[in-house]
A and B are shown apart, each in its own frame.
Chain A
Amino acid sequence: MTAVDIALFATVIGSIVLFGGAAVLALGWAFRSGQFSNFDRGAKSIFGPDEPIGEPTDSFPDMNDKRS
């Protein structure tokens, strides 16, 4: 086995560990930090006081102009 082969194997094995490891860590963090505990709140997190649920954001000034 040459040095090149070893470097290539290290890349492949390293990738598997890094890709897989990162996914496991991210998933673990998401569970611990409660990202999956309230899906309803999650879905609504993109809405706020200036662009609330029920108001289309592509709309006319006389309706709900919130473009800053």
Chain B
Amino acid sequence: MATTAALTTTVPQYSARERAQAAAERAAIDASCRGPVLFFAASAIVWLLVGSVLAILASVKLHSPYLFTASPELTFGRVRMAHLQAMGYGWLSLATVAALLWQMCRLSRAELVYPKLLICAGVLWNIGEFLAVVGIIMGDATSVEWLEAPAYAPPFFIAAVGIVSAWTVAVFRRRREQHVYVTQWYILGAIFWFPWLYLVAQFMIFWSTAAGVVQPIVNWWFGHNVIGLWFTPVAVGTAYYLIPKIIGRPIHSYYLSIIGFWSLALFYSWAGMHHLIGGPIPGWLASASTVGSMMMLIPVLAVAINHHMTMRGHFHRLRYSPALRFTVFGAIAYTLVSVQGSFEALKDFSEVAHFTHYTVAHAHLGVYGFVTMIMFGVFYYMVPRLTGREWASSTLIRIHFWSVAVGISIYFAGLSIGGWWQGRMLNNPNVPFANIVNYTLPYLFSRSIAGTLMTAGHLAFTVLFVMNVAGWGQQRAGGPTFFVEPRSDTARSEQLVGGREA
């Protein structure tokens, strides 16, 4: 398989001078965005840790409800909302910004101008995030899921997102590479959609209040689209950049990748109303959303086929490259969670799964198994290229990968199984409610174990990041750390591309 893949690709010959020039250009581009990208990345990791602590607290309280009962600040309701804020707008959004800024500079082959203003945007974002999390803990939360931040936090987010979007467009307009790569389409979509979604949702829910049933409609239009039109495009776009780049092979079908982007743009924003199936909204609205959710199979399968076919014959590289390992895990999770999501939107399926832990498992497979894992992947690839330093320890990387991979798998399996039977029992009027609560306890306990494992992984990741940025790691002239030295692989690749000079 590897033979077919390598031989179908025409490899251009470049002189040493051309190579040096291109390397210098890339170095200048990376250097121009180093400050803001590392700032966004570092603060993302801080919120990842805060979110992890809040997550464990919330999880433990579900099976041991008498923990910290004296403290109103640490009640489940507040801690769970604060967890969502810390992870959604702290970790995921800030990591997304770091990834999209770096990739936009690289793909446009343009330097970032006025990087200090972007650092200001990062500071504003962090102030907003701090106010949101502390405000929620202190009891100022709103009752709108995904928009729980108290009224004093959103202005900071809006200002920060505005600057990030404007700067990304500015980099794009200064591009030297005339072709718009598929990752850039995804990034441009995300930076256009997210500020718009956020502003419209704030306006219609808080500033000029839409009455009655329109509120949850706007709420879930926003809530679902944050995932689908902000995190998903950047994460999928990142996979479209990293996978070919790491294995040194173009996307299997570029045509399919473009179809994937435009069909996502067309269908994703319909899907939000499936969160309200069975609720008091017009029937046609939920049905239209179910149709939109099923139509999402088109972009999802386009991406799945493309990533799989690109990787075909190169799966052995998963042994060597941490960045590839995390990214491919995320890409596989994307296919799984999206296909699962399409079927969850069916009304018959919702009858059982809705309002159970099954949905929680699905949500975490999406934001963790898919988005977070791809963000880990891009950090492993990006950070050494920005700091010029190698990752300090491949053992820590291995600990990180296995604890989060096993953690999210336990999480997903436990809550999916427990949640499904919880749903089945809830639909049976003969089963006493207390029995159902007791039935779910072992599954909830498994979630706490999974969360602890994932947090251990996050700590390993934080140590690696701090060591890298502080220059404690060994300095290498070579590429990123490998788990295993791929010498035999190297020899084989060189042979396959026709003995080309390396």
Residues of A bordering B, CB below 8 Å: 4, 7-8, 11, 15, 18-19, 22-23, 26-27, 30, 35-36, 39-68
Contacts and interface: CB of A to CB of B under 8 A. Distances in A.
Given A52-B12, A56-B248, 4 more contacts: A8-B208, A19-B193, A65-B478, A68-B24
Contact of B11 (A36, A54, A58): A54
Contact of A58 (B20, B208, B241, B480): B480
The 10 closest A-B pairs by CB, nearest first: A68-B27, A61-B478, A43-B254, A50-B22, A58-B321, A49-B14, A43-B250, A49-B18, A54-B497, A50-B23
B245 interface: yes
Contacts of B409: none
Given A19-B269, A49-B18, A58 B251 contact: no
26 contacts: A19-B196, A39-B253, A39-B254, A43-B251, A45-B177, A47-B248, A49-B15, A50-B23, A51-B245, A53-B9, A53-B10, A53-B11, A54-B6, A54-B9, A56-B320, A57-B479, A58-B320, A58-B482, A59-B320, A59-B479, A60-B478, A60-B487, A61-B478, A62-B478, A64-B502, A65-B478
A3 to B, nearest CB: 9
Contacts of A45: 107, 177, 179, 181
Interface of B: 6, 9-12, 14-15, 18-24, 26-27, 30, 107, 177, 179-182, 188, 192-193, 196, 200, 203-204, 208-210, 214, 241, 244-251, 253-255, 258, 262, 265-266, 269, 317, 320-321, 323-324, 381, 384-385, 388, 476-480, 482, 485-487, 490, 493-494, 496-497, 500, 502
Contact of B254 (A27, A40, A54): A40
A56 B313 CA distance: 13
A32 B500 CA distance: 38
Contact of B204 (A8, A23, A59, A62): A8
A54 B457 CA distance: 33
Nearest to A65: B478
A55 to B, nearest CB: 5
Contacts of A43: 244, 250-251, 254
